[in-house]
Amino acid sequence: MTVAAERLDAPATSGEIVLRRMEKVYEGTQGAVRALLPVDLDIQAGQNVSIVGPSGCGKSTLMRMLAGLESITSGTAHIDGHRVSGPIPDVGIVFQRDLLLDWRTVIDNVMLPAEFRPSPHGTRERARQLLEQLGVGGFEDSYPYQLSGGMRQRVSIARALLCKPSMLFLDEPFSALDALTRDQMNVLFQEVQGEQNVSTLLITHSIAEAIFLADRVIVMSGRPGSVLDDIEINFPSPRTLALRETPEFTTIVSRIRTQFEKAGVFAA
């Protein structure tokens, strides 16, 4: 039985992802760039998956194709049995750049998705609760320029969660943050993962972050990307930073590093 099947308020989409020989070739003025070799992948509903790989290996490309934001050169992607052919409403997305609108207050930034797609969940009440949960309660009426990078990213996560998506796709959401803030965000985010009942697909080049925030880690090779390893992560939640110091955790870190070394890739 999957986690999603046990949810009391199970949303329409549960987040089963199936990729079959999905690949990407960009046709540019400089010629063709093969960004991603054919990928086969099955992600069960409710799984929290991290994809870790070096810069340029096609991680963002893979996520953007899955989210319907980028065309698929060949092969297929299905979410809950529906073939992906355009943007998917039931997915919240967080990018490395927070993409907040400077002229809107924090709460009005969080409310943005509800303006594009009316949802019973898209209320100011929920927006406030999310900001509170993400540790930026009290900043509702501030403007983005008044916030630190970490706070801005908390706001963009709140925005992505507003309409209660069943899946959250995150592309290097914490990569622009300093190390301490990033650690804090890792701890906070895994609390939110549990409380919001959302399954996540996290793209990162940090091995520790990939393991800490997932119950499955997919390791990718350098460009053009292909899957090097697929590791089940069984640590119980909630997790604390002390987990990273345990032998069980460092064994998995070493395993991924070794995969990268064998593939001639610089390990993050």
Ligand X SMILES: Nc1ncnc2c1ncn2[C@@H]1O[C@H](COP(=O)(O)OP(=O)(O)O)[C@@H](O)[C@H]1O
- Which residues make up the interface to ligand X (CB under 6 A)? 26, 28, 33, 35, 53, 55-61, 223
Rank residues 4 and 57 by Cβ distance to ligand X and give the closer one.
Answer: 57
Using CB under 5 A, pick the residue from 13, 47, 48, 60 that binds Mg ion: 60
**Distance linking the first and last C-alpha atoms of the chain:** 35
Here the tokens at position 152 are: 């801005």
Taking the complex as a whole, the smallest distance from the CB of residue 67 to ligand X amounts, in Å, to 13
Residue closest to Mg ion when measured from CB atoms: 60
Taking the complex as a whole, the smallest distance from the CB of residue 209 to ligand X amounts, in Å, to 15
Rank residues 71 and 146 by Cβ distance to ligand X and give the closer one.
Answer: 71
Rounded Cα distance between 123 and 138, Å, is 17
Binds 143, which of Mg ion, ligand X, none (CB < 5 to 8 A, cut-off by type)?
none
Binding footprint of Mg ion, residue count (CB under 5 A): 1
Q: Give the 3-state secondary structure of residue 253.
A: helix
Taking the complex as a whole, the smallest distance from the CB of residue 145 to ligand X amounts, in Å, to 27
Q: Which stretch binds Mg ion (CB under 5 A): 60-68, 105-113, 145-153, 213-221?
A: 60-68
Burial label for 247, CB within 10 Å (0-12, 13-18, 19+), is exposed
Taking the complex as a whole, the smallest distance from the CB of residue 105 to Mg ion amounts, in Å, to 29
Q: In terms of Cα–Cα distance, which of 208, 117, 106 is closest to 154?
A: 106
Which helix or strand (DSSP H or E) is residue 112 part of?
helix 112-116
Rounded Cα distance between 136 and 106, Å, is 9
Could you identify the residue written with the tokens 């409710």?
A: 46
Rank residues 95 and 139 by Cβ distance to ligand X and give the closer one.
Answer: 95
Taking the complex as a whole, the smallest distance from the CB of residue 70 to Mg ion amounts, in Å, to 12
The answer to whether 56 touches 220, Cβ cutoff 8 Å, is no
Q: Which stretch binds Mg ion (CB under 5 A): 32-40, 56-64, 114-122, 128-136?
A: 56-64
Rounded Cα distance between 65 and 232, Å, is 24
| Residues within the interface to Mg ion (CB under 5 A) | 60
